[in-house]
Structure 1
Amino acid sequence: MNVQGFHHVAIICSNYEQSKQFYLEILGCSLIRETFRTERNSYKLDLRLGENDYIELFYFLNPPARMSYPEACGLRHLALRVNELDKMVDELTSKGIVVEPIRRDELTEKRFTFFQDPDGLPIELYED
Structure 2
Amino acid sequence: MLKLNHIHHVAIICTDYAKSKYFYTEVLGLKVVREVYREQRDSYKLDLEVAGLYQIELFSFPNPPARPSRPESAGLRHLAFEVDDIDEAVFHIKEYGIEVEPIRIDEFTDKRFTFFADPDGLPIEFVEK
Q: Once the 2 structures are TM-superposed, how far is the Cα of residue 67 of structure 1 from its aligned partner?
A: 2.2
Worse-superposed segment, 10-19 or 66-75: 66-75
Partner residue in 2 for 1:96:
97
How far apart in 1 are the matches of 2:10 and 2:21?
Answer: 15
How far apart in 1 are the matches of 2:7 and 2:51?
Answer: 13
1:39-118 counterparts in 2 under 5 A?
39-118=40-119
Q: Once the 2 structures are TM-superposed, how far is the Cα of residue 30 of structure 1 from its aligned partner?
A: 0.5
Structure 2: which amino acid aligns with 1:32? V
Identical residues among aligned pairs (%): 56
The answer (yes or no) to whether the contact 2:69–2:121 under 8 Å persists in 1 is no
Q: So what's the TM-score if we normalise by structure 2?
A: 0.97
How far apart in 2 are the matches of 1:75 and 1:96?
Answer: 25
RMSD (Å) for aligned C-alpha atoms: 0.8
Q: Once the 2 structures are TM-superposed, how far is the Cα of residue 70 of structure 1 from its aligned partner?
A: 4.1
Q: Once the 2 structures are TM-superposed, how far is the Cα of residue 8 of structure 1 from its aligned partner?
A: 0.5
Q: Mind listing any 5+ residue stretches in structure 1 that lack a counterpart? A: none
The answer (yes or no) to whether the contact 1:112–1:125 under 8 Å persists in 2 is yes
Q: Which digits, 9 at most, give the CA deviation of each residue in 1:83-112, with x for residues without a partner?
A: 100000000111111110000000010000
Q: Mind listing any 5+ residue stretches in structure 2 that lack a counterpart? A: none
Q: So what's the TM-score if we normalise by structure 1?
A: 0.98
Q: Structure 1 stretches (4+) deviating beyond 3 angstroms? A: none
The answer (yes or no) to whether the contact 2:69–2:122 under 8 Å persists in 1 is no
Worse-superposed segment, 69-78 or 56-65: 69-78
